[in-house]
Chain A
Amino acid sequence: MMFSCILQAEKLGKLTYPDLFLSFQLIERFFVSLKEVFIVHGAWTIFWREMVKYKRRMMTLFVTIVQPVLWILLFGVALGSTIPEKEGSISYVNFLIPGIIGLSILFSSLFASFNVLLDKEFGLTKEILMSPTSRNQAMVGYSLSGLAKSLIQAFAVLLLGVFLIVSGSEKLVLFGEGEGFFDTFIWFLTFVLIIVIFSFGFLFMAMAIAARMTSHGALQALTTMLTLPLFFASEALYPSREFPFWLAIIAKINPLTYCVRVLQISLLGYDFRYGDNPPFHYEFADIVTGFIMVGLFTLIMFYLAIKSFQKIKLF
């Protein structure tokens, strides 16, 4: 409608000021309705609230950034020192960046469940659900705020990793080194996209769990019970080639494995090796598989989260 309006005016050859003004109004209205369709108002309100608190709680902000820093320092530097350097290899820290990013996203996403449990405990869910904000919107709102935190963590790890590597004057491989700006940009998008999908997956899982839980202790126990096997039975810290059969099976169905693989490819390229380990070799198909596996997981979790939020008891 907006375009036809401009077109008509142009055809007539007299695009006057009022017409322009009208078309601006139309453009504005167009975007407002877009916002209403795609941006679920209630969800952004919840998102806003979580962010207000996040900014205020300097401690959480600090922890979000310090935790991955510790990961990198403990694993990358300590473990890395036991790994011999070799010609043509990347440093262990460099190898580890994608894995640590995957891990910290997994953790931060799963821990988003505590915010929901707190809101249930303090009755804030009642306030939210008494308003025109639907349960689905609330769920998406909590998840969006979790996503923001995940992205902050991911970039904190990335920056720190880069800093460590560069300050150690080691070779840095990042986003398809030396392949031109466009390729770098595509790899960067891939990197962000897999983080978003993967983070949503575990955020939705956290939502599904939190909606059904009533006790902090139980939630804590369950979250720990989930993270440990996901953590160790993945390729985040080491390759899975040497895994015994049962561990390899878990690694095969572990979304973290697929997320880390896509992160590795997008950051380190299709071929890389660290220390005197055998080289890794991936192909485009690995990226596709990665997205499919992580996407599938996220879809299932989305369904579970929606279902669980419908069941939240207010009394």
Chain B
Amino acid sequence: MISDVNSVSISEGEEDKEDVIVSVEGLVHKYGDFTAVDGVSFTVRRGEVFSLLGPNGAGKTTAINALIGLLKPTSGEIYLDGINVIKNPEKVKGSIGIVFQETILDREMTVWESMEFHGKLYKIPKEERHEKIWELLELVELSEKVDEITRRLSGGMKRRLEIARALMTEPTILFLDEPTLGLDPQGRVLIWEQIRKVNERGTTMFLTTHYMEEADRLADRVFIMDHGKILISGTPERLKDKLGKDVIFLYLAEKERAREVLEGFDFINEIVEFDKGLEIVLNGSGVPLAPRIMETLDSLKPKLAVDGVNIKRPSLDDVFLYFTGRKIRETDIS
């Protein structure tokens, strides 16, 4: 199933060269014999929210670490604002903001001190630094917590503090590695708001996530990654359109006979078996088509018994599962 869809790109028109802030060409990284990133190419456009979506172990963190110049990749090319990141990692430090996957905060320092430390590391002059700290803490709604020890912040607050910290150097691009990992729903929504706000200020956002919903809601473009490879990319809408069609789950025993009958219909794209029946991928809405299928099966002689029907509309989840080669799991029968 994967082979025919390998590295599909659903482009929306020509790429404007001047709009590209990051370009990655044939990126490969191996840990010993194990290939974590396996020939990845993409471009990030200035001002967009770019999302790398994939399950744990897909190679997202490895890719991000190579992009920010912290990890020397085995091969490939990375350019950020025209600078060769692999050759000159020092030169891009100033224009990059990074929020790492794991929380990186000194547990014994206050919110203010954490910001101050970061600003000092980047040699931002005192007045400017203090002004920035207030402005950014305001932005991420943490100004009331300036003197709180970071250990006592909630998971979401820690993340917001890290975002504010990464913005101190006024990066042109902000990398966020799984920014809502392990947060509760409210915390997650707040972070999403911050990400949008920061993006509206003009910062390009590079986001990795394994939450489909997150990519769906935030990203201008989604690149789905699995086993070190990019499988498909496009806007969330286009990706869903691509699969696009509803899926009908037929719960029945005589799968083979049903399949033979249904294969004749031109509104059916694909028929896949699962343990309790058939999964029928349509090329249109399932609402009018399901009764037609039922009628057809009903009229067969001898009669073909159908135990249940379920219609499912596609989500980015399905796109992901479809392209990572795993079958769409049926939801519970209602």
Interface residues of A (CB under 8 A from B): 41-42, 45, 48-49, 52-53, 56-57, 122-124, 126-133, 314-315
Task: A304 to B113: give the CA distance in the assembly, Å.
Answer: 31
Task: A57 to B102: give the CA distance in the assembly, Å.
Answer: 25
**A41 contacts which chain B residues (CB < 8 A)?**
123
What's the nearest-Cβ distance from chain B to residue A299, in Å? 28
- A53 x B106 contact (CB < 8 A): yes
- A49 x B117 contact (CB < 8 A): yes
* B68 interface residue per 8 A CB criterion: yes
- A126 x B104 contact (CB < 8 A): yes
- B120 x A45 contact (CB < 8 A): yes
Task: A92 to B153: give the CA distance in the assembly, Å.
Answer: 52
- B104 x A122 contact (CB < 8 A): yes
* B183 interface residue per 8 A CB criterion: no
Query: Mostly helix, strand, loop or mixed at chain A's interface?
Result: helix
What's the nearest-Cβ distance from chain B to residue A124, in Å? 6
* B70 interface residue per 8 A CB criterion: yes
Task: A133 to B117: give the CA distance in the assembly, Å.
Answer: 12
What's the nearest-Cβ distance from chain B to residue A58, in Å? 12
- Which 5 pairs between the two chains have the least Cβ-Cβ distance? A131-B121, A123-B104, A45-B120, A53-B108, A49-B117
CB-based nearest B residue for A52: B113
Cross-chain pairs A/B with CB under 8 angstroms, 23 sampled: A45-B120, A48-B117, A48-B120, A49-B113, A52-B109, A52-B113, A53-B106, A53-B109, A122-B107, A123-B102, A124-B104, A124-B106, A127-B104, A127-B118, A128-B121, A131-B121, A131-B122, A132-B94, A132-B122, A132-B123, A314-B71, A315-B65, A315-B71
- A45 x B102 contact (CB < 8 A): no
The 8 Å CB contact of A45, one of B90, B98, B105, B121, is B121
The contact size tier of chain B is 20 to 34
Task: A52 to B116: give the CA distance in the assembly, Å.
Answer: 11
- B106 x A122 contact (CB < 8 A): yes
What's the nearest-Cβ distance from chain A to residue B110, in Å? 9
CB-based nearest B residue for A134: B90
**B103 contacts which chain A residues (CB < 8 A)?**
123
**B118 contacts which chain A residues (CB < 8 A)?**
127, 131
Task: A132 to B103: give the CA distance in the assembly, Å.
Answer: 21
Q: A42-B121, A45-B121 are contacts. A130–B98 as well, Cβ < 8 Å?
A: yes
The 8 Å CB contact of B106, one of A49, A130, A132, is A49
* B100 interface residue per 8 A CB criterion: yes
- B100 x A123 contact (CB < 8 A): yes
CB-CB contacts below 8 Å: B182-214 with A: none
Task: A119 to B122: give the CA distance in the assembly, Å.
Answer: 18
- B121 x A126 contact (CB < 8 A): no
Task: A131 to B120: give the CA distance in the assembly, Å.
Answer: 10
What's the nearest-Cβ distance from chain B to residue A265, in Å? 40
CB-based nearest B residue for A125: B104
CB-based nearest A residue for B97: A130
Task: A56 to B106: give the CA distance in the assembly, Å.
Answer: 13
Task: A142 to B296: give the CA distance in the assembly, Å.
Answer: 77
- A132 x B104 contact (CB < 8 A): no
Task: A271 to B96: give the CA distance in the assembly, Å.
Answer: 63
Task: A104 to B23: give the CA distance in the assembly, Å.
Answer: 55
* B46 interface residue per 8 A CB criterion: no
* B227 interface residue per 8 A CB criterion: no
* B93 interface residue per 8 A CB criterion: yes
What's the nearest-Cβ distance from chain A to residue B59, in Å? 13
What's the nearest-Cβ distance from chain B to residue A157, in Å? 27
**B70 contacts which chain A residues (CB < 8 A)?**
126, 129-130, 314
What's the nearest-Cβ distance from chain B to residue A296, in Å? 33
- B93 x A131 contact (CB < 8 A): yes
- B121 x A132 contact (CB < 8 A): yes
CB-CB contacts below 8 Å: B108-131 with A: 108-109, 113, 117-118, 120-123
